[in-house]
Structure 1
Amino acid sequence: MRILMIAQSPIAGDSRILREATALAAAGHEVHVIGRDVPDAWLENQHSEVGPGVTVESVSRSAGLRGSNGGPAVGHGRNGPKVLVQRFGRWLLLPEHRNRTEKQWRIAAAPRVAAAGPFDVVHAHDFNTLELAASFAGQWSAELVYDTHELWFDRALPGRPTPLWRARGRRFEAALAGKARLVITVSDGIAQRLRERGLADVRVVRNTFPRADEVPAALDRPEGLLYAGRVGAGRDLPTVVAAARRLAPFRTVLMGSVDPNYRLDLGPVEKVAERSIDEVDDTLRSYGISLVTLTNTCENHRLALPNKLFHAVRAGVPVVAADLPEMRAVVTQYKLGTLYTPGDPASLTAAVRDVIDNYGTYADGARSAAAELNWEKDSATLVTAYAELTR
């Protein structure tokens, strides 16, 4: 089949979308991806990134509301009346601006979608592309696939509370997704919520990684604690900093890009630049413990399975993870490591020390889990679901 994937994400850094597109192309389908703000250099070299059968094009999007400072985003924040007024303005306007920006991207993408079509399947990644995808699927008599990476209207979002927007959005999402032949999501918990909202057939394709060709022997004792991911709100990083003070001289390291306007006093925490997936594997192994954090502030976090969890499995490294329902189920079932209470530095400190004291046991659990928690198994679920569409 000819498959169109639509995503309001920078495809070059979205490993889930690239893995799905590559898996479907390997199964004999032709996949075209329209994403957001993909770097020109990546587009020119895309065949080395995604392989045969997959093509990618980019539609730009407004950069959004920016702060007035041009300095580093990690450090001590500024204070004063002017800064407080600016922050209040962002808090008030951000939800409206976010919705407008996403709508503008859909308007800009629509002619590109029309020019690329028709397709046999239109695959919408997340709710902010679903309306556009459903419209063109209807025009082309194509199958619609809805792939939601999050429980969209139950996320923790910056800005003022928007309860009416969330309530209307859940109803609209259910109505549009009800037209899809196939609904995909990332965890059993989110799948169950979607079923409760009237979507009967929901498949789970987790954010796992391909199994490593070779996993070196585990360290005798871990050298440090590594958080590898975006540095920003909602990731419980102030708790990490507070725990790092208690754990020193044991090293705590943040590795990844920083969200605009995010302010964090790093204290004893080291900060290193983001790296490629394969380099993250080696870095995780060199420190020995992977930190998988989220705040307990929304239903989406409670039901999430971050790709950092599965990246640690690929690297064969134990985790210290936030004690949230979906993560708790996976960590305890496969004995991947320990859990801590989000927002509690003492709990995080104790969890890290538990892994240090029982490192060999947890390392064995993480390595054994790779037999089940891998992209080879999850991609098979995706490919099988698509095979059903042809019938």
Structure 2
Amino acid sequence: MKKVIISVTNDLTTDQRVDKVARSLIGAGFSVLLLGVHSKPSIGLSDRPYAFHRFNMIFKKGFFFYFEFNVRLFLFLITNHSSIYLSNDLDTLCANFLASKLKNVRLIYDSHELFSELPELLNRPFVKSVWIYIEKQLLKRIKYSYTVSESIASYYYDKYGVNMSVISNFPNFRLSQDPLISQKHKIIIYQGAINKDRGIKLMIDAMKYIDAKLYIVGGGYLLEDMIHYTQKNKLIDKIVFFGKLPFSDLFQITKKANLGLSFEEDTCLAYRYSLPNKIFDYIHAEIPILVSDLPEFKKVIHSHPVGEILQSRDIKSVANQINQMLSYEKSKWYPYLIAAKKDLCWENQETKLLSLFY
């Protein structure tokens, strides 16, 4: 049985893409070991069908975190047998690349995002240049790679001549709920990272003019700031922060909502070309979406009319558009959501994924 070691720099609890890939590999007869980092507080992983190991890191962020992680990952890889290494994002690639050359092991690279173009690097030119250098030196030397969107694949081809496959980050198909169920309060949901340029502040500001609840589910370095901002604006009765949740709990909350939001700002290439899994989680929970005017988002709306593109980032305009969407019956969107679920599901991506591992 071939063994695949999958590595990421998160704590494994909320990375649905890595979990789906691991489960697909298990289903195809591979042995899987998933490597990540241990964070506090951390959610248990007792329900996973694959082996996993999380490093207890000395450093928690910055250069020393990435250096420590890659050193520990490299040592782990060269001292443990594997037939294939799966590196997730640029921050795991150095260790995987070196170990694959040393041990003559197949390396596969999954680019979840344009790591070197993240907003956190916009005002850090030296740090950004280091990541770009790593990207430039290594990507052209990797035979097997894939990413989440056509825009990112095109970017890498234009910049480095790299032909990446596209494995979209769709959820597994599952039934959700009766679309005609009525609820006492309208619920709006945002799920994902509470980080820079995700549009969280805009959502909070818009709630001043919306008679509904906003559920914000996820963690991030701006979480406490957004909680304080909500309290400062006396909106704590309208906005609920859930923090990080396991996949199953997240879906149970999402499917109760009336509208899903994704307000990434066009401040960097990483966001401009992004295709976050949350919008597909909303679709699979059978709720309409309101998303930013970004290329990959527009492709989804144009091919599947399951929601709307944000018309303006003016606070009152956003509130008006949300109020208008909340006034519609769920039955307006239901046929389109069901059709989109059948098309935009992980089962339709598995064949492409597994072809890279055989």
The bucket for the TM-score relative to the shorter chain is 0.7 to 0.9
Moved more, 227-236 or 5-14: 227-236
8 A contact 1:60–1:105 mirrored in 2 = no
1: distance between equivalents of 2:301 and 2:148?
16
In the superposition, relative to structure 1, how do residues 110 and 325 fare at CA in structure 2: closer, same or farther (>3 Å)? same
| 2:115 aligned partner | 152
| 2:154 aligned partner | 192
The SS at the match of 1:386 is coil
In the superposition, relative to structure 1, how do residues 229 and 169 fare at CA in structure 2: closer, same or farther (>3 Å)? closer
2: distance between equivalents of 1:260 and 1:285?
25
| 1:271 aligned partner | 240
2: distance between equivalents of 1:127 and 1:284?
30
Gap runs ≥5 in structure 2: none
AA of the residue aligned to 2:89: D
Gap runs ≥5 in structure 1: 65-96
The SS at the match of 1:281 is helix
8 A contact 1:289–1:317 mirrored in 2 = yes
AA of the residue aligned to 1:271: V
The SS at the match of 2:261 is strand
| 1:100 aligned partner | 64
AA of the residue aligned to 2:51: T
Moved more, 134-143 or 55-64: 55-64
Instruction: Give RMSD over aligned pairs.
Output: 2.4
8 A contact 1:36–1:61 mirrored in 2 = yes
Structure 1 position 229, deviation (Å): 2.5
| 2:15 aligned partner | 14
| 2:209 aligned partner | 246
2: distance between equivalents of 1:355 and 1:365?
15
TM-score, length-normalised on structure 2? 0.88
| 1:42 aligned partner | 44
Structure 1 position 386, deviation (Å): 2.0
Correspondence for 2:343 among 355, 359, 372? 372
The SS at the match of 1:116 is coil
8 A contact 2:16–2:247 mirrored in 1 = no
Give yes or no for the alignment of 1:183 onto 2:145: yes
Give yes or no for the alignment of 1:354 onto 2:324: yes
| 2:195 aligned partner | 232
Give yes or no for the alignment of 1:125 onto 2:88: yes
1:10-41 CA distance string (max 9 Å, x none): 11321111110110121111222221116898
2: distance between equivalents of 1:100 and 1:63?
6
Structure 1 position 60, deviation (Å): 2.1
2: distance between equivalents of 1:2 and 1:380?
19
Structure 1 position 190, deviation (Å): 0.8
AA of the residue aligned to 1:294: E
| 1:210 aligned partner | 172
Structure 1 position 211, deviation (Å): 0.9
| 1:382 aligned partner | 353
2: distance between equivalents of 1:256 and 1:380?
30
2: distance between equivalents of 1:342 and 1:230?
22
Matched positions, count? 346
AA of the residue aligned to 1:58: R
AA of the residue aligned to 2:20: R
| 1:70 aligned partner | none
2: distance between equivalents of 1:146 and 1:25?
18
Pairs within 5 Å for 1:47-58: 48-49=47-48, 51=49, 54-58=50-54
The SS at the match of 1:234 is coil
Structure 1 position 166, deviation (Å): 2.8
In the superposition, relative to structure 1, how do residues 341 and 213 fare at CA in structure 2: closer, same or farther (>3 Å)? closer
2: distance between equivalents of 1:231 and 1:165?
22
| 1:28 aligned partner | 29
The SS at the match of 2:79 is helix
1: distance between equivalents of 2:176 and 2:300?
23
